[in-house]
Structure 1
Amino acid sequence: MKGLHATRLISAQRSQGFTLVEVMIALALGAVISLAVIQVMISNSVTERLNRALTSVQENGRFGMLRLQQDVLLSGRYDPLSADLNRSVDIAEEDFFVRQHPVVLVNEFSSRAALGITNGADGSNDRLVVVGQHNVDCRGYHLGYATGEEFPVVNEYFVAEGTLKCRGFDLRVLRGLRTAVGHNNHAAYSLLDGVESFQILYGIDALNNGRVSQYVTADNVLVSEQVIAIRIGMLLKSTDAINVNNTQSFAVLNEAPILPESSHVYRQFENTILLRNMKYYVEGGLL
């Protein structure tokens, strides 16, 4: 009987289950573990978004700078000996004109007087306009020439609604030497989004020795043939807002510092590009 009673007692104790204290402890531990797991997941998600934003901004910046560099390097280029050059105009006179206009100043062309390099007021975006011999404009258009045929191109770069854009012109059309044909509607093409600031400085050779005397803004460029270098500065932001606290300000070239107001990722890019054609012309006394 004693053995049977003891067995029933143990069975009764086992059927009671967990105590309230044990349940509360288990729930508390479960909540702590769940919160830790959720926190890790949130942290990983934020880190992933931040890394994606950083990568995107870096890639966009490199692309934008490379795209501009490829065009600016050829500013002032004119090769009258090129077998691909269209020779429907006076080549010698055009060669001299392009050398003297690696960049376009405002009021250079009566047909489009507003076209030219400009300095944005109070830190607003600048406008870059360069001239060189190519077989397409900055949008990839032949402007009525045969495929592969070269002609003097005027490419304009500017920012509208946070997007870097470009449009191309046939220099001969601007000078009244040719009738506009092909894609001469001058529609602007988008190159790069998220541009917060686009600033340009021009390296001037005031002594005609092939060296930059000083860097000036567009409104201080009096003679375009003296420009032998161009310095480009851009401030880009990520497409999506990230939960970051921007406390660093950015001074793009000679402009006042900018403190970002949004939670996007921001990166600054700068590049100084030597206009090799203009440098060699100046050093050789050809201007």
Structure 2
Amino acid sequence: MKRVQGFSLVELIISLVLGLVISGAIIQVLVSSSVTNTLNQAVSQVQESGRYITSRLTGEFYEIGRYDLITASVDDSVDTVSEAAFVQNNPVSLVGDFSANASLGSTQASSGANDQLVVSLLALEDCTGNKHGYAAGDEFHVVNRYFVSGTEFKCTGYDGRVLRGLKAQSVSPTTVTLLDNVSNFQLQYGVSDVAEDSNGQAITYVTADKLSALRAQNQQVVALRWGILLKSYQNQVQQTSAPTFALLNENAVTLDSAHYYQVFTKTLSLRNMKNFVRSIR
């Protein structure tokens, strides 16, 4: 009878080692693929959010300081000439501008905390879509407040006439969340030369705490520069090192390595304010 010879002990050990090596390589590829996929998803999500908020803010900020007495259908229940002067001279609202809400205004936060922007314009509705009881098609003095609460970037819309004490409030202000996973929001303001010498261009960029003194010298905000730091939803990105970012005038900060972060910045000329400054030379 013919004997059947099996594998030797050495052959079995070699086979096991080769199997372990191959299995380890496959696992490594799968892990690497999973990490790459997680990072790609995080990058895609942050970039999509960044494109959205940049586009939205650009569209809304372009209208800052707008007040058209010629072609717009303005609700005329108040003195619109006086209102136009207020909006055009105070496109970026500061603390103390509104008698009915003296604490409302653009602010520069300390130690890298989030800034706040408050602006005036003529519009059909505020940043939340609230018409504040005005008739369809009628424009009115809108005041929008942009700020960060927790990790949510929000906007609250007001009736500027109520804030100025010109009418009683009939519709309460509303707040909407424009974007979440926001780590920081910073602003700088492009200021013109004194009105009689200005061509409507920004000659310097300052923070909100400098605006009151410049306004007193008849210098006007004609541009906005903003920076917004976004982070991913995913908390297992596993970057090799913790990223460091600096937004505009703020000091650099080091963040965690478990999220993907990206800064989005833009400088925008306020066309309505440039035209206004040029018109009063």
Task: Give me the TM-score of the superposition, normalised by structure 2.
Answer: 0.92
What is the Cα deviation at residue 262 of structure 1?
Answer: 4.2
Separation (CA, whole Å) in 2 of partners of 1:71 and 1:159: 17
Per-residue CA deviation, residues 86-115 of structure 1 (Å, 9 max, x unaligned), is 222222111111111111010111211111
SS where residue 115 of structure 1 aligns? Answer: coil
Equivalent position SS for 1:121 = coil
Alignment of structure 1 residues 1-287 onto 2, 5 Å: 8=1, 11-12=2-3, 14=4, 16-182=5-171, 184=172, 186-208=173-195, 209=198, 210-222=200-212, 223=215, 226-241=220-235, 242-285=237-280
- In 2: Cα distance, 1:271 partner to 1:96 partner: 28
Whether the 8 Å CA contact 1:73–1:276 is kept in 2: the answer is: yes
Q: Aligned partners of 1:262, 1:155: CA distance in 2, in Å?
A: 35
Distance in 2 (CA, whole Å) between partners of 1:110 and 1:85 is: 22
Secondary structure at the residue paired with 2:131? Answer: coil
Query: Structure 2 CA distance, aligned partners of 1:187 and 1:95?
Result: 24
Aligned length: 273
Find the aligned partners of 2:241 and 2:122 in 1 and give their Cα distance: 43
**AA at the equivalent of 1:251:** A
Of residues 232-241 and 163-172 in structure 1, the stretch that sits farther from structure 2 once superposed is 232-241
Q: Whose strand fraction is larger, Structure 1's or Structure 2's?
A: 2
Alignment identity in percent? 45
Q: Is the 8 A contact 2:75 2:139 kept in 1?
A: yes
Q: Distance in 1 between matches of 2:234 and 2:55?
A: 23
Q: Once the 2 structures are TM-superposed, how far is the Cα of residue 83 of structure 1 from its aligned partner?
A: 4.7
Contact kept in structure 1, 2:155 and 2:176, CA below 8 Å = yes
Give the C-alpha shift of residue 247 in structure 1.
4.2
CA distance in 1, matches of 2:140, 2:36: 49
Q: CA-atom RMSD, angstroms?
A: 1.6
Q: Could you tell me how far 1:152 is from its partner in structure 2?
A: 1.4
Q: Quick check: 57-66 or 160-169, which moved more? A: 57-66
Structure 2 counterpart of 1:205, one-letter code: S
Return the alpha-carbon distance in structure 2 between the equivalents of residues 23 and 147 of structure 1. Answer: 84
**Per-residue CA distance 1:126-162 (angstroms, 9 max, x = gap):** 0001111111111111111233332111000011112
Identify if the C-alpha distance between structure 1 residues 135 and 246 changes in structure 2 by more than 3 Å, giving closer, same or farther.
farther
CA distance in 1, matches of 2:244, 2:204: 26
Give the Cα separation in 2 of the matches to 1:41 and 1:145: 59
State the AA in 2 paired with 1:272: T
Deviation at 1:57, TM superposition (A): 0.8
2:130 and 2:174 in contact (8 A); partners too: no
For structure 1, the 5+ residue unaligned runs are 1-7
Contact 2:238 2:257 in 1 (8 A): no
TM-score when normalising by structure 1: 0.90
One-letter amino acid matched to 2:66: R
Q: Match of 1:221, as an amino acid?
A: L
Residues 223-282 of structure 1, C-alpha deviation per residue, up to 9 Å, x if partnerless? 286101111011111112111134442111011111113421111111011110110111
Separation of aligned partners in 2, 1:232 and 1:87: 34
The one-character-per-residue Cα deviations of 1:5-50 (angstroms, maximum 9, x if unpaired) are xxx2xx31x2x32222222222211111111111111111110110
